[in-house]
Chains A and B, each alone.
Chain A
Amino acid sequence: MSNDVLVLAEHRDGAVSDVTFELLGKAREIAASWGGRTVALLLGQRELAAELGAADTVQCAEHAALETYNPEAYEAVVLQALEQLEPRLVLTSTTTVGLDLGAALSVRWDAPLVSYVTGLSAGDGTALATAQIYGGKLLAEVELSGPRALCAVLAGSFPHAAGRGETAPTVETLDATGLLDDLRTVVTSVVSPEGGDVDITAADLLVSVGRGIGSQANLEVVEELAEALGAPLAASRPLIDQGWLPKARQVGKSGLSVKPKVYLMFGISGAPEHLEGMRDAELVIACNTDAKAPIFDVADYGTTVDLFDLVPELVSRVAG
C-alpha cells in the first residue's frame, strides 16, 4: 500500500476531458495531506501526457485496443495498473468510462466504491466522501478507512484550475503485453455528433423544456415561444428518448453542453445529468410547478407558475 492518489485520465476527440483536471486538482490536495504522490493513468494517446503536469507521474499504456475507449481493454489495463501501483485512492469521473469501470474495479480490485461523489476530504488515514443519492435529493457521507478505495466523481464538483499543471510530468510506460490479446469486446466505430438542424451550443438565448411539458402535442406551446424569441428549442433527456425532439437538441451529460447568456427552462426538475450540460449558462431562469425541484438551487431566477399559464403571457409580450 502507498499513500498515492491515482486519477484515471479521460480524453475524447484527442483532448483531455475537463473533469480530469478537476480530479487531478483534488488528488493533489488529498495526496499532499497523506504524504503521497499524484499519479495519472493515461490509456492511449500518450502525447496528451504533457497536459497532465499536475500529476507527479503519468503512467501510460499504449496498444491498438486502447486508442478509443473499449470497456474490456480499459478495465484489464487499469486493473493491472492498480495491482502494480497500489494507490490508496483512485478517482474516476461518472462519465460512461467511470460508470463502466468503477463498479467493475470495485469487485475485481476488492475496494469500496462511492459513486456520484461531490465532496472529498482527507482525514487522518481516511477519506471522507460526500455523494449525491436519489437524484441529488439526499447526500450520503461515507467514510473510507480501508487501505484502498475508489471514488467516481460527478463532473463540476471541483475546480479544474488546480489540476492544470505548468511543469512537464514524469512519464512512465505501463506494459500491457498479453492483457489485450483475446478481448471479447471489439469497438467497430466511434461516431461524433452529427450536426442537427440547429446548433444549440451557439445560441445566446436558449429555451429548454423537460418532462413537465407532459405530451408531444404540448410542445407547440414552447415552440411558439422559442420562435417568438428567435431562440432554438432544447430539451432534457426524457423528451429526446421519447423521440419528441431530435438528439441534437439534447442538453446534458449524454447530450451537449451549452453556455448561453440566458437559459430559460420549463418543466425541468434539474437532475444531475441535466445540470452537467448547462452549469456554465450565465443566467438561468427556471419554471417548475414543484417548489422543491432541485433546479431552484441552481437557477438564478425561478417561478412556480404553471408553464401553460406563463408561456402564452411571455409569447404575447415578446411578439407584441
Chain B
Amino acid sequence: MFLEVKELSVSYGAVDALENVSLHINEGEIVALLGANGAGKSSMLDAISRIVPAKSGRIIFNGADITKEKPENVVRKGIAHCPEGRKIFFDLTVLENLQLGAYTVKDPDAVLVNLEKIFTYFPVLKDRRKQKGGTLSGGEQQMLAVGRSLMSSPKLLLLDEPSLGLAPKLIDQIFEIIRKINFLEKVTVFLIEQNANEALLHADRAYVLENGRISIISDNAEELLKNPHIIRAYLGG
C-alpha cells in the first residue's frame, strides 16, 4: 500500500476532528475524500503533511512511518500538500512562489526542468511569472497553488478543495489537468472536495467522512454518484 492511515485521531483541544479513521491509497490512484464542512477533511490532509499532530494512530507512506516526522521531511519523502484556500504567497512573484515549491530540491537543474514542465501544464503562469501572486485571479491562484506543489516532484499530491470559489468551466479545466498530471507524471492524488459531483467523476475511489468518521468506502467512485445517501447529502438531490 502506498499510503496507509491507521486509526488516526486528531483533536484541537477538546474538539475531536477525526476519530479512529483508517483509509488507504494505492500508487497511481486518484482518491477522493468527501464530506460536509467541518467533517474533518482538511484535518486529514494536515495530519498527513504533519502540520497538525496526530493524537493517536499511524500514518505510513511508502513503507515508512511518518506519524512523528517533521513537515519538511514529509515533503522530502515525496508528499506535497496544496492547502485549503491556496495559501499562495501574495507578496512574492509567481516565479518565486514556484521556486519555493521546489525548496527541498537541491539540484538547480532539476528545478528548471520542473519549472518548464509546470509552464507547459499551466501556460498562464509563464505569462504571469513576474507578477505578484496576489494580483492573480482566483483560477490562476489555484493553478499556481497546484503548480507550486508539483515543483517538489511529489509522488503523492494532497489537494484540498481545488474547486473552491471557481467558475464551473475553470473547475473542469483544473480537474482535467489533475488527471493529466496523475496519468503522465505518475503522481498519486488524494483530494478532498465539497463538490462531490466533480470529484466523483474524476476519482478512482472515494471515502465519505461524516463527523470525524468514515461512513462510506467506495471502490468505484462513479457508482457513488447513484448512491441515494450521497445524492441527498452532497449532490443536492
- The answer to whether A and B assemble together is no
Residues of A within 8 A of B (CB): none
Give residues in B with beta carbon < 8 Å to A: none
